[in-house]
């Protein structure tokens, strides 16, 4: 797991108050990420990781797992 994915994993765990999930765990299907948790997670990503998630990047598939969130963050950082 990359350093970025590990940081996202820790951030997801801290934000959602749970044990760090496996990187491939489907956060939505498992019920760990609902609409309120998504808003909290977006705020944490922007605050802690210094990325701005534009509205056009808010696709649910980007938030399915720690892996997909880490990919989104990496893409936003490389585009900046």
Give the separation between CA 16 and CA 2, rounded to whole angstroms.
Answer: 21
Q: What is the pLDDT of residues 29-61, one digit of tens each?
A: 999 999 999 999 999 999 999 999 988 878 999
Is the predicted pLDDT of residue 1 greater than 80, yes or no? no
Fold category of 3-79 in CATH: 1.10.1200
pTM of the entire predicted model? 0.91
d(CA 37, CA 69): 14
Mean pLDDT of the chain: 91
Residue extents of the structural domains in the chain:
3-79
Closest CA to 60 of 34, 25, 21, 40: 34
């Amino acid at each position: 797991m990359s350093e970025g994915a590990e940081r996202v994993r820790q951030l997801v765990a801290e934000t959602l108050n749970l044990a760090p999930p496996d990187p491939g765990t489907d956060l939505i299907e498992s019920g760990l990420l609902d609409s309120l948790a998504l808003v909290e997670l977006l705020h944490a990503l922007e605050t802690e990781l210094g990325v701005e998630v534009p509205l056009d990047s808010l696709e649910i598939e980007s938030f399915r797992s720690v892996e997909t969130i880490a990919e989104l963050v990496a893409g936003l950082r490389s585009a900046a």
